[in-house]
Each structure stands twice: as C-alpha cells, then as structure tokens.
Amino acid sequence: MRNILAITLAGVFALASVATNAAESLSHSDLLKKVRDKARIQEQVNEQRVQQFRSQRNRQADLLADAKRRLAEEEAKSERLKAQFDENEKELTQISEDLRIKQGNLGELFGVVRQSANSMTGDIGTSLVSAQYPGRQGLLNTLTEADALPKMEQLRAFWVLMLQEMSEQGQTTTFTADVVNEGGRSEQQTVTRVGTFNLISNGEYLFFDKGVIKTLQVQPDSRVLNQVEEFQSTNSGYAGLFLDPSKGAILQLEKQKMSLIDRLWEFSGFAGKTVMVLLVIGLLIALERIFTLYFVTGPKVHSQKKSATPGNNPLGRIMKVYQANRNEDVENLELKLDEAVLKETPKIERGINLIKVIAALGPLLGLLGTVVGMIEVFQSITLYGTGDPKTMADGISQALVTTVWGLLAAIPLTFLHAVVAGKSKSIIHVLEEQSTGLMAQHEESNG
C-alpha cells in the first residue's frame, strides 16, 4: 500500500507540474478530476497485479505440495523394490544352489563341450572338409557362446560333426563348388578333395581360404602337376599324388618361391654378374672355334690331304711353301716348312688359351662373391643378431649364388676348352705329319 501511495503522490506531483505549466488553459477542478481519474486507474492496475501474484503464489504452493507427495510415493516404492530385490537375491541364490546340486557332473560336461567346441572352431574353419560342407561353424559358435547347458540335440550334432571330420580325412571325394579364379570371378567347377590335404580341379591345385575356394596364383612345378592330371584321369586302382601335409600352407608359399633363373640373377651381385659376362664371352669364343675347326679348317685340311693341288687352307699353304722351295737343299727346306707350320699354329690355336683363362677365373670370381656374401652375413649378425634368419638371407644367397655362377662358368668352359684344344692339336699334328712327309718325299726325289 505504501508503494501505491508513493506512486499516487508522484502522479500528483507530475500533474501539478503539468498544471503549473498549463495553468492558463486548465482550471483547478479539471486538474483535480484528472488526478482522481489517474489514481483510480492506477489502483485498478495495482489490484490486478496483486491478484495475479496471489494466483501464481497459490499455484506454486500446489506444485510444491504435489512434488512432495510424488517424492514420498517414489521413496515408498523404492523401499518396496529394495525389499523385493533382496528377497529375489535370496531366492536366486537358493535356486542356483539347487541347480548346482541337481546338475552334478553336467557342469563338467558343459565345460568339456565348450572347450572342445572352442578348440575345433579353428580346425573346422580351415579344414578342406568345410569346402565340401559349408556352414559347419554355426554349431560350434553356438556351443562356444552359450551361457546355458547345451541341449541333447546340440550334443548329438557336435558328436556327428567330430565323426564326420575324422571319417572324411581318409576319403577322396568329388563335388561341385564355386571356385574363384585369378581374375576374381567365381565359376562352378568339379573339385576333387583328397582327405584334408589337397583340393584339385582341372589339373591344378586349389586352396581354401575363409570359406572360399580359390585358384593358386602360382602352381607347383610341371612334374607335380602331371601327377594331378594322372590322378584325376584314374577311375580305378591307385594313382600317385603329391600331398600338402600343411593343408595348403606349403602351396601358398609357392607364389613366393623364386625360379632358379630369377634367384641366380637376383642374388648374383657384382661378382656373379661379372662371371655371367665372362661366361658369355667364353661361350662365344668356344662356339666360334668349334665352328671354325670342325666345319671350316678341319674339313679343308682333310680334303687337302687327298689333293696334290694346294688350296686356301693351312695344309695348302704349307704345300705352296714346299713347291716354292723344292729346289732348296734339305736343311733349308726343312726350316721353311717348320716356319710355315709355326706360322699356321697361332691361327689354329687362336682364343683357346682365353677359354682356359675364363674357365679358371669363373671359380675365383665365385669365391670372391662367396667371401663378400659371408661378410654381409656377419655384418647382419653383428647388427641384428641371429634371431631372424631373414636378415641373413641376402648374404647367404649371394655367397651361394656366386659360387654357382663360378661353377656354371668353369664346367662348360673347361669341357669346351678340352674339345677345342684337342681338335686344334689334331690339325697341327696333321700339318706336322704332312710337312714331314713332304721332307721325306723331297729326300727320295733327290736320291
């Protein structure tokens, strides 16, 4: 009420100031009337605000009372639920104890079944039998993840599954299945399963990975694949076949295996590549000498032995020297013929000593590469230890491959050197023999 009175007085003062400024136009009665009207209107507004405040205060009081009532109800409900929970805990404990007593040895059975199913999950998933009978892991997953005792039907199915896996290990069967080829496309093929060792189809080996039958990217050697074709074409009796006891792991490693040529080139090193170059040079020289001695010089010399007319060959040139100096005495003619033979010898023996040198250098360079490779091996052992053999593989491979290159260069070049040297000696022997014969003929003609 004091606030209302203060507002009223403020209005009066305001009106009084307005009335003072406009005293000429307003009378005292009009001013008093306006003040009373304003005061009445203000009282009505204030009364409405007071009524609204009281209404809201009563509403808040009702809401507070309702909230207290609901809180009391929830607390009572919580007490009832707590008491019920404690009662249920006691009952559950009693039921669990009764279940444990009634189960007896069934609890141990459940543990054994779960452990056996867990251990067989990996074997069944990778077994080649699953390629013929897919979806066998569902039962094992159910037994492994179950929290309750297995049912009799599940135990019987698990027993049948183990018997099937054992019996199929000794069976060779043929079935139709989807096979993913190297291009990633799936096509139906007739697949032969040999126990739990191999899958074969169309003369090739297959492998089973994550429930999918796939074609090997790199097949084994031809001698192994020939056995596959023979095995598949056999309708009765027995046939040999290469088996993979690792159930596909060894076949998978085939794609990582390097061929002999790739291995010799990859790990040859500087020494090995040098031996390769020398081997090529030695082979070219040996082939040229073989062609010259066996197909050019040799036949011409043998033909010249049957002809008295000198030709363009070593023996023919010696005969020309004899005919040009046949009037000389024996000593001078002998010297001339010996000179002619010595002059033809280097042409016949050209490159033969080089073949011998290359054949001797091959093993020496191979030994050099072996020493370098062993140095790398010991360096790897010093840095990384001997825990991982792969860190030493490069050095060991280089040591062995360079030795192989040295032997590959020495063995054929030594053989070719022997062949070429023997042929050259036989031709020189013919030249010396014919030269001696010409000398004998000259002595006989001079009496």
More confident residue, 407 or 137: 407
Would you state the pLDDT for residue 125?
Answer: 80
Mean pLDDT of 439-447: 77
Q: What's the CA gap between 211 and 281, in Å, rounded?
A: 55
Q: Is 8 left (phi over 0), alpha (psi -120 to 50) or beta?
A: alpha
154 contacts 138 by C-beta, under 8 angstroms: no
SS3 152: helix
- To the nearest whole percent, how much of the chain has pLDDT over 70? 87
* Amino acid letter, 336: K
**What is the pairing mode between strands 172-180 and 186-194?**
antiparallel
Alpha-helical (H) ranges within 104-201 are: 106-126, 129-132, 137-145, 152-168
Angle at 99 between CA 96 and CA 102, to 5 degrees: 155
Beta bridge partners of 204: 201
Exposed, middle or buried, 295 (CB in 10 Å: 0-12/13-18/19+)? exposed
Mean pLDDT of 260-274: 70
Would you state the pLDDT for residue 2?
Answer: 44
Q: What's the CA gap between 207 and 218, in Å, rounded?
A: 11
Which of 273, 291, 280 shows the shortest CA–CA distance to 413? 280
SS3 412: helix
How would residue 14 be classed by pLDDT, with cut points 50, 70 and 90?
very low
Q: What's the CA gap between 439 and 298, in Å, rounded?
A: 22
Residues in the chain: 447
The DSSP-derived string for 54-94 is: HHHHHHHHHHHHHHHHHHHHHHHHHHHHHHHHHHHHHHHHH
* Strand locations in 111-264 (E): 172-180, 186-194, 198-201, 204-209, 212-215
pLDDT at residue 418 greater than cutoff 90: yes
320 contacts 309 by C-beta, under 8 angstroms: no
194 contacts 241 by C-beta, under 8 angstroms: yes
| 379 token code pair | 């360096």
Which of 196, 182, 204 shows the shortest CA–CA distance to 244? 196
Give pLDDT tens digits for 57-101: 888 888 888 888 888 889 889 988 998 999 999 999 888 887 777
Give pLDDT tens digits for 143-165: 888 777 778 888 888 888 888 88
pLDDT at residue 128 greater than cutoff 50: yes
Alpha-helical (H) ranges within 311-351 are: 314-324, 330-348
pLDDT at residue 365 greater than cutoff 90: no
